[in-house]
Structure 1
Amino acid sequence: PRTPLPAICDPSHLLHRIVVLVFMCFLGFGSYFCYDNPAALQSEFLQDMNLNTAEFMQLYAWYSWPNVILCFLGGFLLDRVFGIRLGTILFSLFVFGGQIIFAIGGLVKHFWLMEVGRFIFGIGGESLAVAQNTYAVNWFKGKELNLVFGLQLSMARLGSTVNMNIMGSVYNKVGQSFAAGHTTLGVSLMIAALTCLFSLMCALVLGFLDKRAEKILHKEQGKTGEVIKLTDVKDFPACLWLIFIICVGYYVAIFPFIGLGQVFFIEKFNFSPANARAVNSIVYIISAPASPVLGFVVDKVGRNVIWVMCAVVTTLAAHMMLAFTFWNPWIAMSLLGVSYSLLACALWPMVAFVVPEHQLGTAYGFMQSIQNLGLALIAMAAGAILDTRGYLVLEVFFCACICIALMAAVMLYFVDYLKGRLNLSVICYDNHAQMIEELLKHNLPS
């Protein structure tokens, strides 16, 4: 029998797991903080690096390109090659190293080097999120897990929000000490890299604590649980392909818009750069507390397809307000924040309703893969449209993308109405499950 440990040192005690949770939440803080560095400093990038908008949006495209493939390989690398502890440290190193190269590209005014940095950053970013979720399942599987996922999501959105609201001040402070221009931009990005270094330190501490818990509790390393078989794609039902279309059509109208939002609010609404960054960050600010709350509501009510349709329609209304009116943009961006959170809570769980459990890893991997492919292509297209046609045409383009998502959502409603269960209320779903259980118990066909 081992000597009893103080509660804070005992891996089986809640207090120790709360300490682990703190490091777990900050594990992805640096990645989310630095992902939107270009959005927070859009006008500074365009001016200091002598870029047009199409070139600027390449910074987001290069982040997405590696994740078209890594969505399938990330879980395999964590489970079979590196293990969760070493894999988390390596992916954190990719994030930190990519941000450093990104900053050096600004210092020496070589845009191609900045693109290389974003590509390396992208290799680590999405896979680090998979590792973070694996740690959560390993330490909190059970009744605490949903709360932990909600806290991790809130911390991620906090990182994005803090970036949007302080990077402008960091740039201005650095500009008072250095010559204005690309040097100021590079130094500002180097300062932002400190958040990635902090996350890397969290990865090292987590690895130590997990190794220690393994020795004390005699437990195995966590596994992602992802089983990827590309041959399963041919068996995907029509409902799942409609979910994929909704996912791509919706998200390509959110993230590229935020990437270009700062200058939009400055030019159309005459906002100061600080106010433009603030209103551009409201989507992340709202989603931090709203995601757990809306997730709870969707869980209790059901009717996932209806919630998805409401989110898509609300997002379309928000983009139309931004495109065709001069109403205060805080209204539209607040609607966008609520609908963005609602769609995430209602759409992603539906995958588990339409494919067998052994195909979940493939389905989610494919969904993330085509989402990143869409984000990369639309980021490039959005930059080209803005350079040649302006913000009004760009907003119409985003509205068209959301209309595609809306048509897919309506089709999903009717397809599911015929023989599905995505839009059942929770009460009906429970009754349906009990009926199937009784039929199987008596060996009757369902």
Structure 2
Amino acid sequence: MEKMTSWHNTNLRWFVLVLIGVYPLVQFLIGEYPALLGEQIKSYFDVSQAEINYLLTFRSFPNMIMSLIGGLIIDTFGVRRSYVFFGSIVIIGQLLCFVSVIYKHFIWMVIGRFIFGSFESSGFVAESYYINKWFQGKENSLAFGIDTAICRLGSIGAAIIYPYLYQSSNNDLSQCLLICLLIAIISFLIIIILTQIDRCSDIRDKTTDQKLDSVDLRQIRNFSLEFYITLITCVTCYSVFFIFSYNSVEMFKQIYKLNQNVANTIFSIPYYLSAILSPIIGHYVDKKGQNIEILCTASCCQLLAMTIFYSMPECDTESITIPFLGNILNGFFFGTYYAVMWPHIPLIVPSHMVGTGFGLTFSSINIEITIFSFIVSNMLQIENYDNYQQMNYLLLILSLIGFIPLVFLFKNHRTQYHKHIQTQNDDDETTNQIELIVKSKST
């Protein structure tokens, strides 16, 4: 009976992980449409690439604060109530985006993206909280890796679905947005199922949804220096990836003369690689550790990718090699970085403030994305090679800034490791001396 219960609990946890992965899968599936349908949106609303970037900016802007507030909401009211609330807000935002196409008012789409983004990242905080709750110890990184693989399917699916749906519906943009709305509703229903399973599990284990006694932002001061250094590299590297990804399809068409289908395919390469690599890297970290070393390697891949894109000249004819190679490197970055970074955060924050730690991280990511996507949108008022190179130069500098803190953390961890080894050697030497003294007295 005990073995049957253990088998049941194990299978339930992996089923819960699949349900947890549905939320980020859906967010990437319905969140990527401005990047993949940028040309169609520009034509339909008669706007420029700068306005397309506003759809990213206004998606990220509210999360500069709301992700942190979302983490505090989770720690205060519990993860279940919070998750349901976050999912309902996403539906409202996506509904406005759909209505904007029906009535052909671009400003409504911007407002819809603002509402959509208000608690979107808070949902990611809740998702990360759930993974950390259900998968602790040596399965944590593997669970984050599998979750990454699931949600990457959203971006892969988006790159396939939206161009096909747009063409098959006689260039009807509203059909794409209607599908987004329906997917958001399905996601909300999955959240309901997940929270009920979690509630029943707590009842069975005679535990309650962990909550803070009171909300006090001053508790953030209890976070370690390592957390804030990690925060710098995390937010910078993620900002580089998402800002580049958001503008990559149009850049590939402009600079490398690729058609829409090829550009969409290359856009999805990092997500394919991430889906494959994340579970593998997560399992390796659970077994071997080496978190910082892997993060350094991932950041190096991003730095090299941005260097390649900045260094290459404009092409006169179609050229696939550079975008293909650069996005493979971006895929290695994304597939390893996510699987290692997010399980690392609960290790460096107080156990009762995990939600706040995730919230502060997501909030900081959105602050940087908002600021620099606004800068990039101004750079791309006119789409040409020089302006895209300005964008690439900015992202190259940011990727370097993201890499430097990892070097500091690597050196710090190596120093602590050697100190630990030295302490163990000293303890062993002291133990040996005591044993020799005892033996000498006994003789």
**What CA distance in whole angstroms lies between the structure 2 residues aligned with 1:39 and 1:224?**
38
Going by fraction, where is helix more abundant, 1 or 2? Answer: 2
Kindly report which structure 2 residues correspond to 1:249-264, keeping only aligned pairs within 5 A, or say none: 249-264=236-251
Q: Aligned match of 2:95 in 95, 100, 103?
A: 100
CA change 1:269–1:305 in 2 (3 A) is same
**TM-score if structure 1 supplies the norm length?**
0.81
Shift of the alpha carbon at 1:198?
1.5
User: Match of 2:431?
Assistant: none
AA aligned opposite 1:115 = V
Kindly report which structure 2 residues correspond to 1:17-416, keeping only aligned pairs within 5 A, or say none: 17-81=13-77, 83-141=78-136, 144-175=139-170, 180=171, 184-215=172-203, 217=204, 219-223=206-210, 229-231=216-218, 240-298=227-285, 304-325=291-312, 327-347=321-341, 363-388=357-382, 390-407=384-401, 409-410=403-404, 413-414=407-408
Tell me, yes or no, if the aligned pair for 2:240 and 2:398 is still in contact at 8 Å: no
Shift of the alpha carbon at 1:316?
2.6
Shift of the alpha carbon at 1:59?
0.8
Q: Aligned match of 1:421 in 403, 413, 427?
A: 413
Tell me, yes or no, if the aligned pair for 1:353 and 1:421 is still in contact at 8 Å: no
Tell me, yes or no, if the aligned pair for 1:33 and 1:159 is still in contact at 8 Å: yes
AA aligned opposite 1:25 = G
**What CA distance in whole angstroms lies between the structure 1 residues aligned with 2:407 and 2:16?**
42
Tell me, yes or no, if the aligned pair for 1:256 and 1:375 is still in contact at 8 Å: yes
AA aligned opposite 1:91 = F
Shift of the alpha carbon at 1:118?
0.9
AA aligned opposite 1:263 = E
User: Match of 2:316?
Assistant: none
Tell me, yes or no, if the aligned pair for 1:89 and 1:203 is still in contact at 8 Å: yes
Question: What do residues 20-43 of structure 1 show as CA deviations (whole Å, max 9, x unaligned)?
Answer: 443333233222211111111111
**What CA distance in whole angstroms lies between the structure 1 residues aligned with 2:16 and 2:97?**
30
* 5+ residue gaps, structure 1: 439-446
* 5+ residue gaps, structure 2: 313-318, 429-443
Question: What do residues 384-407 of structure 1 show as CA deviations (whole Å, max 9, x unaligned)?
Answer: 112246344434433444334425
AA aligned opposite 2:148 = L
**What CA distance in whole angstroms lies between the structure 2 residues aligned with 1:357 and 1:433?**
27
**What CA distance in whole angstroms lies between the structure 2 residues aligned with 1:295 and 1:436?**
34
**What CA distance in whole angstroms lies between the structure 1 residues aligned with 2:419 and 2:234?**
24
Tell me, yes or no, if the aligned pair for 1:58 and 1:115 is still in contact at 8 Å: yes
Shift of the alpha carbon at 1:170?
0.7
**What CA distance in whole angstroms lies between the structure 2 residues aligned with 1:306 and 1:17?**
29
Bigger shift: residues 21-30 or 51-60:
21-30
Question: What do residues 311-349 of structure 1 show as CA deviations (whole Å, max 9, x unaligned)?
Answer: 333223222323433534211110111023333345556
CA change 1:342–1:218 in 2 (3 A) is closer
CA change 1:24–1:233 in 2 (3 A) is closer
Aligned CA-pair RMSD: 3.5
AA aligned opposite 1:159 = G
Q: Percent identity?
A: 25
**What CA distance in whole angstroms lies between the structure 1 residues aligned with 2:311 and 2:35?**
23
Q: Rg larger in 1 or in 2?
A: 2
CA change 1:411–1:192 in 2 (3 A) is closer
CA change 1:369–1:415 in 2 (3 A) is same
Tell me, yes or no, if the aligned pair for 2:165 and 2:176 is still in contact at 8 Å: yes
Aligned residues: 419
